[in-house]
């Protein structure tokens, strides 16, 4: 059988290999057409097939063999050729062939289907073919089929990639709540998607919107800016970006951010909602304004410090005022601050606080002294917080600086006045105790002697003898209490830094006078405390023991003083009535001298501590106080104690 592609290729091949004989014009045109057809088939990679149904064979051109991965010149049965179609498309191919037999253009069909190559790969092909029928008594009978096949796999892959890209774009737009629009250069109308309709406050099914209607909902100042940018877009093809407000139907405003560009003579763009960001920016501006007002009102300097670069930014003029620098001199780095301004005694504490804050990514606080270039000294309080970068390293310290020089001066004055008041109280107590000893005690002794002379040797009755005994006992008890109170008001003085020995001396004397069993356990490290703090602890113990004597009706008392780290733990335990029993006892009994718990709290207030009172079963009370003793307080207390000692010495000399 003569095949069509042999007619195309064979004859042109022979024409090229054999010498040309003279032909007519019609023959030359036919040969030219054959040459052009052969060229088109070869260049376009068009495969040709032919099927002879009477013989049951199908032939393939070399181009189609390449598409199907078959050896050149391959031929196979009609059934084998049908199985070249992918199983998923065989039904569709059969339907197309059956429909072609009934169509007006009888036998002509085409389709896009998948075929399976010999190596198992699947390719997409576009097929155009025609079946030739012979009319028989049983109806049309297919005798021959011929057609072309083009490999469109690359086109199908491109279409799939485009669909996937469009899907990803749509997902991204939906996730970012972006709407898209398209308009002609006049921009009189725009084609929008559902998300854009939502952003513009339009019904979800709106797809075309008038630009004039939208312009009525945009504030004038935003509209003028947008028109200027749109003109540059259409005339000079400058990329368009504008943020504007859109009035919604409910009266609210929505901020939109629009991006647009010109492509193929049309305007394409996107919009997305930036209302939350705009509100946050407005709130931030308002917060910054309030911060500036607060910082100005509180005379605070505001700064930022980059820990990695050791670079500082001073945010307001107050920073320069505090450090006595001009803006021309610029801010200080941390190294400059430590080397040139910070007091040498405060460097260690400052660096320790800085390391701790950087390590914990927490707050930073330091109270320190500086020496300015004009040689003046200032007290500063620095508060800030570290902001951590994504990698976890410190990014910057944001903080404020307050000049607390005046406050420190007032604190020193207050401490000095407090110490003077304590000294005056001690002197007054000493004077009262001396007066009680020199006068009141002597009068009681004289009264006792007089009573002894007046007392008859033989009372007339037992009642009279009992009365004389009661008077003598009352005078004796009064003298005992008078000596005890005198001892309480004028205990041994702390003339040296030996709190332990002074406490032991006081406790022993107090126990002898009041009859209590008192045990003292004191850590020797308390003797290293500043003299002023030793005296405050001594007065606290004195007040607590006096409270036990006056109110608790106890027989045993223990006093424990321990130094743990930079804290002093003071524990006083008794086996008396307890807090509840004392209240009931005082309600029934006459009021006795002393201020009790209020006096103890007043003593602790001067020591920066708070008492904790707990009952003990079956009876008794425990008083536990924790007092902080830091280095700065030790230095201050020691200086104040030396000044008070000098003041007391001058008072005694006078």
- Collapsing DSSP states into helix, strand and coil, what is residue 181? strand
Peptide bond into 614 cis (omega under 30): no
- The residues of the chain scoring below 50 in pLDDT are 1-5, 7-20, 579-596, 631-654
Contacts with 621 (C-beta within 8 Å, 6 or more apart), sequence order = 552, 573, 574, 576, 578, 579, 613, 614, 615
Contacts with 180 (C-beta within 8 Å, 6 or more apart), sequence order = 173, 192, 193, 195, 196, 268, 269, 270, 271
Residue 381 and residue 332 in contact, taking contact as beta carbons nearer than 8 Å: no
| pLDDT in the model for residue 191 | 93
By DSSP bridging, strand 556-564 and strand 517-522 are parallel
pLDDT tens per residue, range 475-534:
888 887 777 777 766 666 665 558 888 888 888 888 887 788 999 998 888 888 887 778
d(CA 336, CA 352): 17
Overall fold of domain 494-654: Heat Shock Protein 90 (3.30.565)
3-state helix, strand, coil in the chain (%, to 5): 50, 25, 25
Phi and psi, residue 160, nearest 5°: -65, -40
| pLDDT in the model for residue 39 | 66
What's the whole-model pTM score? 0.46
Residue 434 and residue 490 in contact, taking contact as beta carbons nearer than 8 Å: yes
DSSP letter for 298, please.
T
Tokens of 78: 């009609």
| pLDDT in the model for residue 646 | 45
Burial of 225 (0-12, 13-18, 19+ CB in 10 A): middle
Residue 142, beta-bridge partner list: 133
CA terminus-to-terminus distance, the chain: 149
Overall fold of domain 176-273: Beta-Lactamase (3.30.450)
| pLDDT in the model for residue 560 | 92
Please identify, in words, the CATH class of the domain defined by 4-157.
Answer: alpha beta
Q: For domain 280-403, say whether CATH 3.30.450.20 is its number.
A: yes
User: Domain residue spans in the chain?
Assistant: 4-157, 176-273, 280-403, 427-490, 494-654
d(CA 535, CA 553): 27
Nearest to 364 by CA among 322, 287, 314, 305: 305
Contacts with 520 (C-beta within 8 Å, 6 or more apart), sequence order = 503, 504, 507, 558, 559
- Collapsing DSSP states into helix, strand and coil, what is residue 544? helix
69: left (phi over 0), alpha (psi -120 to 50) or beta: left
Assess whether the region 176-273 and the region 280-403 belong to the same CATH fold.
Answer: yes
194: number of Cβ within 10 Å = 16
d(CA 441, CA 493): 22
Whole-Å CA distances, 169 to 160, 163, 197, 201, 266: 14, 10, 18, 22, 20
Contacts with 187 (C-beta within 8 Å, 6 or more apart), sequence order = 211, 230, 234, 267
Tokens of 305: 């410090």
| pLDDT in the model for residue 58 | 93
Tokens of 113: 């289907």
DSSP letter for 526, please.
G
């Amino acid at each position: 059988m003569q095949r069509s592609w042999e007619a195309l290729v064979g004859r042109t091949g022979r024409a090229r290999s054999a010498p040309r004989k003279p032909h007519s014009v019609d023959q030359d045109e036919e040969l030219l057409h054959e040459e052009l057809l052969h060229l088109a088939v070869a260049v376009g990679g068009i495969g040709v097939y032919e099927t002879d149904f009477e013989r049951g064979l199908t032939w393939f051109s070399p181009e189609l063999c390449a598409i199907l991965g078959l050896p050149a010149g391959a031929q196979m049965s009609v059934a084998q050729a049908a199985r070249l179609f992918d199983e998923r498309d065989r039904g569709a191919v059969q339907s197309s062939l059956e429909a072609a037999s009934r169509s007006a253009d009888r036998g002509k069909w085409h389709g896009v289907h998948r075929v399976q190559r010999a190596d198992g790969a699947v390719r997409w092909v576009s097929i155009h073919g025609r079946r030739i029928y012979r009319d028989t008594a049983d109806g049309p009978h297919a005798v021959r089929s011929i057609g072309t096949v083009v490999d469109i796999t690359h086109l199908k892959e491109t279409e799939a990639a485009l669909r996937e890209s469009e899907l990803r774009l749509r997902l991204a737009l939906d996730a970012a709540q972006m709407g898209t629009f398209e308009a002609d250069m006049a921009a009189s109308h725009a084609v929008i998607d559902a998300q854009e309709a939502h952003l513009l406050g339009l019904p979800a099914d709106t797809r075309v919107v008038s630009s004039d209607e939208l312009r009525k909902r945009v504030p004038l100042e935003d509209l003028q800016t947008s028109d200027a940018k749109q003109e540059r877009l259409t005339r000079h093809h400058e990329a368009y970006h504008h943020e504007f407000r859109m009035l919604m139907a409910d009266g609210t405003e929505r901020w939109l951010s629009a991006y647009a560009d010109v492509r193929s003579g049309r305007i394409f763009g996107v919009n997305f909602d930036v209302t939350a960001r705009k509100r946050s920016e407005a709130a931030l501006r308002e917060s910054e304004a309030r911060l500036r007002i607060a910082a100005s009102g509180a005379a605070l300097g505001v700064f930022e410090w980059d820990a990695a670069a050791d670079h500082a930014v001073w945010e307001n003029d107050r920073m320069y005022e505090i450090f006595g620098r001009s803006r021309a001199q610029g801010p200080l780095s941390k190294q400059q601050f430590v080397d040139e301004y910070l007091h040498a005694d405060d460097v260690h504490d400052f660096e320790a606080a800085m390391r701790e804050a950087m390590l914990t990514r927490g707050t930073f606080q330091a109270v320190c002294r500086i020496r300015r270039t004009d040689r003046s000294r200032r007290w500063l309080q620095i508060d800030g917080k570290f902001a951590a970068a994504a990698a976890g390293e410190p990014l910057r310290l944001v903080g404020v600086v307050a000049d607390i020089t005046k406050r420190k001066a007032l604190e020193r004055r207050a401490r000095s006045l407090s110490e003077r008041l304590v000294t005056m109280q001690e002197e007054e107590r000493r004077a009262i105790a001396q007066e009680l000893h020199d006068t009141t005690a002597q009068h009681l002794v004289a009264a006792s002697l007089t009573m002894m002379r007046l007392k008859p040797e033989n009372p007339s009755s037992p009642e009279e003898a009992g009365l004389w005994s009661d008077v003598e006992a009352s005078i004796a008890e009064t003298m005992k209490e008078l000596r005890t109170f005198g001892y309480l008001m004028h205990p041994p003085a702390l003339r040296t830094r030996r709190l332990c020995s002074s406490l032991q001396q006081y406790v022993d004397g107090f126990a002898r006078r009041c009859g209590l069993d008192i045990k003292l356990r004191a850590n020797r490290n308390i003797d290293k405390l500043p003299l002023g703090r030793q005296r405050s602890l001594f007065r606290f113990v004195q007040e607590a023991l006096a409270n036990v004597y006056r109110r608790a009706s106890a027989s045993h008392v223990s006093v424990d003083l321990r130094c743990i780290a930079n804290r002093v733990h003071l524990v006083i335990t008794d086996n008396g009535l307890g807090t509840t029993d004392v209240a009931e006892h005082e309600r029934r009994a006459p009021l006795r001298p002393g201020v009790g718990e209020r006096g103890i709290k007043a003593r602790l207030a001067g020591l920066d501590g708070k008492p904790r009172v707990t009952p003990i079963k079956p009876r008794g009370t425990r008083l536990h106080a924790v007092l902080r003793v830091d280095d700065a307080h030790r230095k201050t207390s020691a200086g104040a104690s030396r000044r008070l000692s000098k003041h007391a010495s001058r008072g005694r000399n006078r």
